[in-house]
Amino acid sequence: MKYPRNRVLLSVVSLLSLVGFVTDAAAEEPGAAVRVLILTGRNNHNWKATTPMLQKVLEASGKFRVDTTVPPQGLTRENLNNYDVILSDWNSWGGGSQEAEAAWTDETRQAYLDFVRGGKGHVTVHAGGSSFYKDWPEYRKVALVYWNLGATGHGRQHEFEIRIDKADHPLMAALEGFTMRDELWNKPGVVEGATVLASAYSDKQHEPSGTNQWEPSVVAATYGQGRCFATLLGHDAKIMENKGFQQLLIRGVQWAATGTVASAVTPDAE
């Protein structure tokens, strides 16, 4: 069965097509596909490039159907019923943050949390959890990671090692460590109770605020009956071409949506 796409998403889909990513719907497998809703339209990073790249990687795997929405549109209970997992490429960081956050009504916020609490999934990519610092602390329990004001820092992008910390977690099973050139967050905010699945080594040689220790970069947790996955990797679309990142993304979205991970073949998103 195919699920109709919400009309409020069409303007965003049109925008994504302008940057060169057009999905071939005929190549999808709706019967088995995980239904993903990407939050987009605002971020202190280049969401106009990262959102279509995330969509491309997921759909190229053949395991997902992906829609997009600009919050709070599309975050009604009725529309969320069409999806298995929310992926946040959205944050309220920067000017206008109060207005952006105020647009999330109490009803919207409750529907959002209930979606995950009831058994669905939530995924956070890079700075996608850096929102709602003052008036919605419960949000962090699904976002898992965020820029911790006064503590978190990072240097310039450089190549660093990713270490697998929980090889026995279904999301990480059979995965090996890898290297990537990215932005490494030192002392990130991580919600209490989250399990660190993978870490990045913060070398002071490359990081003015470096710690010379392993910093959390991939985490997971449950929220009610739902599952949450977050990675601080993936600062920009070019970085998202890294095969290790793509494998983590595919597996993380699968696990958040279903609680299991099928064998994943990393697509060529270049």
pLDDT at 263: 60
In a domain, 47, yes or no: yes
Structural domain of residue 74, as residue ranges? 7-258
Q: Cα–Cα–Cα angle for 211, 214, 219, nearest 5°?
A: 125
- Pull the structure tokens for residue 76: 């009604």
pLDDT at 10: 36
pLDDT at 50: 98
Residue 36: burial class (beta carbons within 10 Å; 0-12, 13-18, 19+)? buried
- CA 249 to chain centroid, in Å, comes to 8
In a domain, 240, yes or no: yes
**Spatial separation of the C-alpha atoms in residues 205 and 157, rounded to whole Å:** 12
Provide the whole-model pTM.
0.87
Residues in the chain predicted with pLDDT less than 70, given as ranges, are 1-31, 207, 263-270
pLDDT tens profile 111-131: 999 999 999 999 999 999 999
In a domain, 264, yes or no: no
CATH of the domain at 174: 3.40.50.880
Number of alpha carbons in the 13 Å side-chain half-sphere of residue 58: 27
Domain count, the chain: 1
